[in-house]
Structure formats: structure tokens, C-alpha cells
Structure 1
Amino acid sequence: MGSACHTLSLPRSTWYRRQKQASSPDPDIDLKDRIQRLALAKSVYGYRRMTVELQRAGLIVNHKRVLRIMREDNLLCLRKRRFIKTTDSEHGLPVYPNLKIGLVVDGIDQLWVADITYIRLQGEFIYLAVILDAHSRRVIGWALSRRIDTELTLAALRMALKSRTVRPGLIHHSDQGVQYAATEYINLLKENGIQVSMSRRGTPYDNAQAESFMKTLKYEEVYLSDYANLTEARQSIGRFLEQIYNRERLHSKIGYVPPEEFEAGLSRHNQTTIC
């Protein structure tokens, strides 16, 4: 087992948990996702109000099951903490129109989509910022931190800028959160000739591609792991993003090939066309 963990570059605790879950899929995985999202939006809710909220949404669930899940995921204590949401649009900074509306993306580096999500460790929450190429679905920039600040999103953007070629007309799309509206972030985009686009307020569907990716990340990596600390989370999540998602996972929207393979195919096609 030790050599297997070393070969896969996985923490031992994560390996054990995945082996256990592979043999017995978690029947609560969808409910856990709903509860975690509600707990972030309504951090003062205890398990009884959470149960009623879920029932009002049409789920058949009792308070005992909700209490168990909230206790296992350390969500009962959120009501006693100051909690920071991933999107803070009450900042007074300039916001930008949604340039995605009516946009047809037919090549890489025409549209980048960005988003932030939270990840629960054993005793705290950390935050992940990600940037995707909208055409290939490839993760081109990411950063992980205990702080949900502009430096988090800047780190992901700097990675994307380092790894990609900025093409004329490239659009960067995000929500209206303060981390994306910050002067330093906007300036870095404009200095590189990138147009700024933001979702309409309270309209998460405007950034549906990023939202869908975050759900994939949660279901295929985060919920199958039990990160002890930030270092362990960075190791496992980095492996998922760069190795599994970009190079191995088949994506239905791009013909059931991995994003890197899809981009390589585009490059070969373009070279053939030129010749």
C-alpha cells in the first residue's frame, strides 16, 4: 500500500478513504452538496431549519439524517463563526457588462472563465481560485489559500498568463466579487490586453461553465478525500487539476477526450490547414 500511495502521490489518509468509498459509494453525496451550499448561504441555520429548507426544496429527508451529515462535515459550528462568502458584491468597485451574451467561442484563448470555491479541511475552510479555457475546458490557472482575497485570484491569473498566449479579443469572465473587481486584478487584465466581463448580479447561470467545473471537482476529488491540512489539500487537488482533469478525464463537451488532448488536436488541425 505504501508504494502505491507513493506512486500515485497521494496522502495515506486519502488513499484509505478512497478505497473505502470505491467499494461502498456514499448515498449521501448529493445531499451533502446541497447542505454545504445552504450552510454557506445561511450560516446561522442549525439542523432543524436546514431540514425544513431542504424539505421546502422538495427533498425527502428527516432531521436525524441532516444532523448526522452536518455533524460529520463540521457544519453545525458555522453559526458560531464569522463566515466569509465566496462572492462579495457589496464593494462599491466598478463592475463590467457581461460580454458572454451572444458570444460564439470557437477556439482556445478566446474566453477564460474564473471562479472561487471553498474546501473543507478537518478543522478549517480553505479557498480555491480557478481559471478555465472555455473552449477546451482546460484548467489554465489555479491557486489555493486560507485567505479569500485578491492575492488568491491574482495567483491563479498569473499562472494562466504564464502558461497561455493572450490572443487579440480575449475575454476574462467572472462574477462581480470583490476579488475580481479589485483594481490590482483589473489592471493586470488590462495590461495584458484582456477584456473584462462579469456575470449579472445574482445570476450564477451566467458563469455556468465554471460552476459546472467546481461541481465536478467536488464530486470527483474533494468529497472523496479527507485533507488534514493545506499542504495535503494542495498536493491532492493539484494532482487532480493538472494530471487527472487536464490529461486523463474524458470530457463529453469536447468529444470525450481530455482537455490537453483536445488542444493538441486543434494544434495539429491548424498546422495541417496552414500547410
Structure 2
Amino acid sequence: MKYQFIEQHKQEFPIVVMCRVLDVSESSFYAWRKRPTCQRKREDAQLTEEIRQEFYAHCGRYGSPRLHAELRDQGRSISRKRVARLMHEAGLCAKRKRRRVLTTRRDTTHPVAPNTLNRDFTAPEPNKKWVSDITSIPTAQGWLYLAVILDLYSRIVVGWSMSASCDEDLVEHALDMALTRRRPKSGLLHHSDRGSQYTSRAYRLILEQSGIMVSMSRKGNCWDNAAMESFFGSLKEECVGSTIYTSHEKARLALFTYLEVYYNRIRRHSTLGYVSPLVYEQRALQQAKKNV
């Protein structure tokens, strides 16, 4: 401990003075400096560098659980606690989620549906439960609105739409993408808040014609759509952060890259055993084929 203190403060005080004060010989101190670093410290240094590379490869989005899963899949035998300790010592801290701004407004003249989902954010297979919502992205050209639909089975983004207007077209385009991509069977449950975009006659008609059942959050209760709240929290922190995009075009490119390239295909999801939504669905499909 004395030698470590001297080493850490050698730029502030003369080594000879510190040796005298701490009652150690200079020769012993210099002999200590020549000793090889212990095996554990060498391993920690190497692991820290690997953790640092993965941390920045994911733009600071990953905390210790996801980094631990990443290293484990690369064949590293390391505990989650050790990853957390090395991250703390290296000053690596994942981005934190922030509350998002309310974007949907209720139209009291529109009919609403009961909360059939009832906060059960699980699904036995794909295309059984979808959740949807809208968020806003700041740009120098004004707000860019983003509507997203998630499949609760794998949390994969099945549909999305962006527009400078937060209107019915925004959510209809996202729904159209989801229906085209997934082609769900009749009986799918679609959950949203009571925003006028979702309660509009046109949107409800599309759902009805597709054989989709409707569920809506209770008035002013964000927890009834917690899966979407969590998703937008991650998107805001991991993709947008404090960025003010200079144009809608640049915001669109960043959001597209996050949704289609990173989130669906790469980002490890805690509720999926730390694999990406796409990998989760692919593994489930492979397992289903084996069981046939």
C-alpha cells in the first residue's frame, strides 16, 4: 500500500521524501516497481480494453448486463459482477433513459376501446399482440414525429412511420407497413393509447377489416402501454440523446439506422435473454421446425 501511494503521488512529491515519511527504503520501492504485474491485474487490464471496445462499438448504449452477454457470446468466461466492476473503474456508464413528451391528444367525440391487454406484455407467438405509440424528435426544421408498432412476442419493430405532421396518416402508414410485413391472422390484439390518431374512424376501420381486436390504455395511464414507453425511452437515449438534427432528412436517416439496422438486428434485449429481436424470432422458428 505504501509503494502504491508513492507511485500514485510521484508527480506531486519527491520520491525520496515520501520514502522517508513512510519509513521505506528507496531501493525497496524501485525493486517493487520492477516486479511484473500480477496475473489477475493483467487479465483485468485486457478485459477492460475489450469492454471499452464493445462499449464504444455500441455508442455507449450498453450497461454491464448487455456487455456481459456480448463477451459471453464471444467465448469469454467472465462474471457479470466483474464486468460491472471493471466498467466502474474505467468510468464507463451506459446512457440513461429520460421521460418523453406527450404527443397524442384525445378527441372526446371518438369512441374508445377497453384495456383488453391489461398490462400483459407477453405473447406466446408472433402476431398475437402489437402495441403502438407516437413520439417526437427535435430538429432545426421543427418536430419530426415517429409512430412505431412493436410485436410483444419479440419486441421487434414491425412497422414505423415518420412525418412532420402528427396526424392520422402517420399512424396509418406505420400500420400499413406492419400489415404488409407480417400478414397477421385474424385475432391479433392491437393496443395503443386514446390519442385521436388511434381512435379515428379511418384507423379503426383498417383494424376492423384486418380482423384485429382493439385495446386502449385507460385515460392518462402511461403504464398501460409500458412496453412502448420503455422502447421510446431507449430510442431517445441511445439514438437521439441531446442531438438536435439539422434537418428532417438527417433525423430520418438516424432513426432508420437505429430501428432497422441496430435495434431489430443487433441490440440485445433484456427481456429476450440478451439477444436481438430478430435473433430471438429466428431461434424460435428453428426450434419449431425441429419439433415438427
TM-score (norm 1): 0.69
Give the equivalent residue in structure 1 for 2:118.
101
Distance 1:273 1:191, change over 3 A: same
CA distance in 1 between counterparts of 2:96 and 2:274 reads: 24
Gaps of 5+ in 2: 1-55, 61-90
- How far is 1:116 from its partner? 0.3
Give the equivalent residue in structure 2 for 1:196.
214
Give the equivalent residue in structure 2 for 1:62.
none
- How far is 1:270 from its partner? 1.3
Distance 1:176 1:30, change over 3 A: same
CA distance in 2 between counterparts of 1:230 and 1:122 reads: 8
Q: 2:272 aligns with which of 254, 267, 271?
A: 254
In structure 2, give the amino acid aligned to 1:256.
Answer: Y
Deviations 1:84-109 (A, max 9, x none): x5121133101001111275521111
In structure 1, give the amino acid aligned to 2:286.
Answer: R
Give the equivalent residue in structure 1 for 2:145.
127
Gaps of 5+ in 1: 1-17, 41-84
In structure 1, give the amino acid aligned to 2:209.
Answer: E
Deviations 1:235-271 (A, max 9, x none): 1100100010000000010111000110111111111
Give the equivalent residue in structure 2 for 1:168.
186
Q: Secondary structure at the match of 1:113?
A: strand
In structure 2, give the amino acid aligned to 1:191.
Answer: Q
Q: Does 2:153 correspond to 1:138?
A: no
Q: Secondary structure at the match of 1:105?
A: coil
Deviations 1:152-171 (A, max 9, x none): 00010000001003123210
Give the equivalent residue in structure 2 for 1:67.
none
In structure 1, give the amino acid aligned to 2:225.
Answer: N
Q: Which has the larger radius of gyration?
A: 2
Distance 1:263 1:30, change over 3 A: closer
Percent same amino acid among aligned pairs?
39
Give the equivalent residue in structure 2 for 1:219.
237
Deviations 1:189-219 (A, max 9, x none): 1111110110011111000000000000000
Q: Secondary structure at the match of 2:265?
A: helix
Q: Does 2:167 correspond to 1:153?
A: no
CA distance in 1 between counterparts of 2:287 and 2:236 reads: 34
Q: Is the contact made by 2:132 and 2:192 (CA closer than 8 Å) also made in structure 1?
A: yes
In structure 2, give the amino acid aligned to 1:118.
Answer: S
CA distance in 2 between counterparts of 1:89 and 1:194 reads: 21
CA distance in 1 between counterparts of 2:186 and 2:173 reads: 22
Q: Does 2:108 correspond to 1:88?
A: no
In structure 2, give the amino acid aligned to 1:90.
Answer: D
Q: Is the contact made by 2:119 and 2:224 (CA closer than 8 Å) also made in structure 1?
A: no
Q: Is the contact made by 2:132 and 2:228 (CA closer than 8 Å) also made in structure 1?
A: yes
Alpha-carbon RMSD across the aligned residues, in angstroms, is 2.4
- How far is 1:123 from its partner? 4.2
Deviations 1:128-175 (A, max 9, x none): 000000110000100111100000000100000010031232100000
Distance 1:179 1:102, change over 3 A: closer
CA distance in 2 between counterparts of 1:145 and 1:123 reads: 12
Distance 1:102 1:227, change over 3 A: closer
Q: Does 2:201 correspond to 1:183?
A: yes
CA distance in 1 between counterparts of 2:119 and 2:290 reads: 30
Aligned residues: 204
